[in-house]
Structure 1
Amino acid sequence: MTRPADIYLRFLQLTEALRGLPMLAALDPLEERILEFVARATRAKDRLSVRDMMAQSELGSPATLHARITSMREKGWIMLSDTEDARRKQIELTQAALRHFDKLGEAFTKAAKGT
């Protein structure tokens, strides 16, 4: 019988291999947390504006978050799109970021199957 810990450790091993693929520039730990936050909002079909992100004090100060959002845009992980209010920008995942999550999902499925 495969233990859940074995599946998780296999998943970690597979995701480490993904890091070596030439997809997008690496994220620092805070940027990874921000990416996961944006991904969860996207999955829930919530519109996430830059202002909404700046209000997430558990992720850092507004200045820190602004710098990380800029960095993540330059690295190709997120993009900002216009809303009905030209002063507000919505944060969205890029197609490359969505492909990254597809690869993570494939790695999880592979780990769960034990292949």
Structure 2
Amino acid sequence: MPNAYIRFLNLIDALDRINPGRSLDNIEIQLLEYIMQQDSRKIPLLVGDLISLQQYGSQATLHGRLKNLVTLGYVKLLADKTDARKKSVIPTKLAIKYVQFMSDCLDKALGR
């Protein structure tokens, strides 16, 4: 049995206990992880880029999940200075804290 993975699952389960408010659903987690990956690579990300990611769901679904991430404080949207129709997606301190928590859980599960 992969003990490290089970320990990891148990540790991330603590996230729901620590943060008893509304937790992220699977699509929101996938979007947030994608946003964080792009941010770590210094790749600018627009709302249109995110809602075109068909592997995560329909445009309407992704738009709704992105709105939830904004409402919950994980990302913010910044309007382009030259074209207000374009909005950049920027992770917030809460998103960075979430990724750090997940990293810490992985380290603990691996016994580091």
TM superposition shift of 1:62: 1.4
After TM superposition, where is structure 1 displaced by more than 6 Å over at least 4 residues in a row? none
The alignment status of 1:39 with 2:39, answered yes or no, reads no
Distance 1:57 1:14, change over 3 A: same
Q: Deviations over 1:61-112 (max 9, x none)?
A: 2111111111111111211123343221111211111111111111111111
What TM-score, normalized to structure 2?
0.87
Unaligned runs of 5+ in 1: none
CA distance in 1, matches of 2:95, 2:17: 15
Aligned length in residues: 111
Provide the identity percentage. 30
Q: Which has the higher contact order (CA 8 A, sep 6+)?
A: 1
Q: Deviations over 1:23-78 (max 9, x none)?
A: 86311111111111111111221111001112211112211111111111111121
CA distance in 2, matches of 1:62, 1:43: 24
Kept in 2: contact 1:50–1:91 (CA 8 A):
yes
Matches within 5 A, 1:1-115: 5-22=2-19, 25-84=22-81, 85-113=83-111
Kept in 2: contact 1:24–1:75 (CA 8 A):
no
